[in-house]
């Protein structure tokens, strides 16, 4: 696939979809920590770059993807925009490119802010276009040349988020793990219009968990991933909380003080929502989260990421349309297969990797550290090729795989493509733990094979859940909705 060309899919299944699905990028692409922006008539997403089978966070160079603002189901690869070898502090390449942000300076150029994994300082690159080749510009520093993060009393910098307003550049950073009392919270540093020089030193704008008592942030204190937006006439601070799997929001009339905790924007495992198993029950295996909100065509969306491959290190970008009250309150979004944009067509074939819910008999919020070798938990993975086929592996008895939502009209049968040393059935339902609407037989298959069953599903917008009952371990590639 060439740079600047539309993505056509890695198989006929994906080519035929052309709908908004999660993940929104190709199944083999791993771009977490997404910061979305609308420049002109296109949406650009900037993030770090994981890889299939990765053993560390963010080993890849920065790449960029974009989509027409009116078509979030068709993304274009813009190529590598910045290589980690370009930073003079990274001559040995031991620093990975952690989560970045991009801001437009007063000169109209695009500034890329990032922190290397082995540094606590902020680097900046610049480009004349949103997705061109960025070149290293410098490091954020005090007027005397001391790098921000190295000054007396400075806390290490991490996960930069940037907002440019008039003569001021607001830089938000921070990382506050539980138990570390040396880290106090999210910081805001005001920079000069040169995008590099500290104008006002850091101040804390949201507390970490060790300092959240009495602040209103209890239980949802700042952990990492600061991002800043203007929303509903206020400054809206998006961040990953101490729970790791959720993105929260806080608002203020000032960019440097007074932020009030407002709530959860999204949880990577749908905790906090009525989901059929209780608000405190996870419906996906997750870990950290990072993203932000963006207005596209007068509608607001949240960009976030999910975990795959049974590890913390192969994360994929997802999005959901937000439900906002008339008073401007962001209601917690549920994770879906359709990005909450429009129900998927209730016919045709869909890849199993667009599942938004995967859970088993044993409740598990976070990706097990035992990872791939733990056969108790299913996981989204891919064939060990550069652009290999994606599927769900390691499904055992009691595993449920869910997809939301479909516009069902006249659905008669569902087939499921599976493989593996397993025997039993997929029990199909339209809600978590709901009444069965059909049973698909599953056999021992050495190659992908289809099982099919009649279903009884009333017309309407429905979720679909496949629960395996039987023996062995199963791989799940795709399913087909058959009408007429």
Catalytically active residues are: 33, 224
Six-digit token pair at 157? 């910098």
401 SS3 class = strand
In 195-286, at which residue ranges do the beta strands (DSSP E only) sit?
198-207, 222-231, 234-241, 246-252, 260-267
Closest CA relative to residue 57, chosen from 113, 112, 97: 97
Q: Report phi then psi at 12, rounded to 5.
A: -60, -30
Closest CA relative to residue 151, chosen from 110, 197, 94, 192: 197
Q: Which residues make Cβ contacts (< 8 Å) with residue 163, sequence separation at least 6?
A: 103, 169, 170, 172, 228, 229, 230, 235, 255
260 SS3 class = strand
d(CA 323, CA 341): 11
Closest CA relative to residue 215, chosen from 178, 265, 258: 258
52 SS3 class = coil
Q: Which residues make Cβ contacts (< 8 Å) with residue 16, sequence separation at least 6?
A: 9, 348, 349
CB burial of residue 267 (10 Å; 0-12, 13-18, 19+):
buried
Six-digit token pair at 426? 């997929």
């Amino acid at each position: 696939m060439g740079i600047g060309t539309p993505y056509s899919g890695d198989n006929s299944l994906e080519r035929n979809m052309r709908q908004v699905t999660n993940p929104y990028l190709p199944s083999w692409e791993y771009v977490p920590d997404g910061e979305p922006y609308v420049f002109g008539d296109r949406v650009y997403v900037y993030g770090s770059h994981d890889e299939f089978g990765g053993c560390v966070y963010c080993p890849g160079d920065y790449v960029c993807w974009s989509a027409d603002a009116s078509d979030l189901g068709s993304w274009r690869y813009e190529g590598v925009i910045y290589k980690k070898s370009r930073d003079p502090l990274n001559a040995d390449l031991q620093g990975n490119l952690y989560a970045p942000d991009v801001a437009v300076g007063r000169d109209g150029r695009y500034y890329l802010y990032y922190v290397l994994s082995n540094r606590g300082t902020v680097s900046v690159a610049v480009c004349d276009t949103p997705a061109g080749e960025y070149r290293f510009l410098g490091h954020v520093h005090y007027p005397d040349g001391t790098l921000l993060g190295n000054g007396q009393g400075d806390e290490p910098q991490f996960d930069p988020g940037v907002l440019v307003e008039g003569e001021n550049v607001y830089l938000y950073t921070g990382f506050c793990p539980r138990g570390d009392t040396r880290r106090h919270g999210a910081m805001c540093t005001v920079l000069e219009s040169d995008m590099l020089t500290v104008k006002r030193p850091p101040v804390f704008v949201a507390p970490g968990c060790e300092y959240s008592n009495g602040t209103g942030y209890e239980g949802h204190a700042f952990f990492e991933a600061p991002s800043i937006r203007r929303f509903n006439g206020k400054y809206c601070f998006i961040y990953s909380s101490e729970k790791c799997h959720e993105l929260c929001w806080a608002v203020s009339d000032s960019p440097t003080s007074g932020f009030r905790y407002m709530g959860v924007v999204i949880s990577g495992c749908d905790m906090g929502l009525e989901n059929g198993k209780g608000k405190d029950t996870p419906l996906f295996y997750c870990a950290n989260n990072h993203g932000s909100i963006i207005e596209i065509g007068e509608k607001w969306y949240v960009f976030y990421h999910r975990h795959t491959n049974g590890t913390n290190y192969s994360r994929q970008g997802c999005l959901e349309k937000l439900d906002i009250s008339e008073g401007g309150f962001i209601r917690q979004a549920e994770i879906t297969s359709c990005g909450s944009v429009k129900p998927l067509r209730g016919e045709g074939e869909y890849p199993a990797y667009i599942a938004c819910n995967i859970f088993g008999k044993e409740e598990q919020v976070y990706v097990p550290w035992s990872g791939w070798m733990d056969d108790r938990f299913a996981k989204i993975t891919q064939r060990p090729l550069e652009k290999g086929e994606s599927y769900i592996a390691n499904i055992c008895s009691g595993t449920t795989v869910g997809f939301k939502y479909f516009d069902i009209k006249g659905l008669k049968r569902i087939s499921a493509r599976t493989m593996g040393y397993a025997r039993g059935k997929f029990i199909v339902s339209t809600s978590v733990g709901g009444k069965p609407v059909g049973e698909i037989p599953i056999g021992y298959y050495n190659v992908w094979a289809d099982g099919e069953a009649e279903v009884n599903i009333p017309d309407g917008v429905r979720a679909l859940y496949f629960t395996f009952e039987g023996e062995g371990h199963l791989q799940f590639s795709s399913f087909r909705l058959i009408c007429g």
